[in-house]
Amino acid sequence: MKLHSITATGEKTTLTAQDAVFAAPANSTLLAQAVRVFLANGRQATAKVKTRAEVARTRKKWYKQKGTGNARHGARTPSLFVGGGVAHGPNGTQNWSLTLSRSLKLKALSQALTLQAQNIVVCDSIEKLDGKTATAVKVLKKIVPDGGKILVVMAESNERLLRGLQNLANVWPVSATRVNVLQVAGATKIVMTSHSVKKLEARILGEAAV
Q: What is the mean pLDDT of residues 123-139?
A: 87
pLDDT of residue 67: 95
Distance CA 173, CA 86 (A): 44
pLDDT of residue 112: 95
pLDDT of residue 210: 45
pLDDT of 146-184, one tens digit each?
888 999 999 888 888 888 898 898 999 999 999 999 999
Q: At residue 20, what are phi and psi to the nearest 5 degrees? A: -65, -20
Q: At residue 53, what are phi and psi to the nearest 5 degrees? A: -80, -15
pLDDT-derived band at 41, boundaries 50, 70, 90: very high
Q: At residue 12, what are phi and psi to the nearest 5 degrees? A: -95, 130
pTM of the model: 0.81
pLDDT-derived band at 113, boundaries 50, 70, 90: very high
All domains of the chain, ordered by start, with CATH? 2-43+96-205 (3.40.1370.10), 47-95 (no CATH)
* 5-14 contacts at long range (C-beta below 8 A, 24 or more positions apart): 5/121, 5/122, 5/123, 5/194, 6/121, 6/122, 6/123, 6/142, 6/143, 7/123, 7/124, 7/125, 8/123, 8/124, 8/125, 10/142
Distance CA 75, CA 168 (A): 56
pLDDT of residue 192: 94
The letter for the amino acid at 11 is E
User: Among residues of the chain, what percentage have pLDDT more than 70?
Assistant: 98
Distance CA 41, CA 64 (A): 51
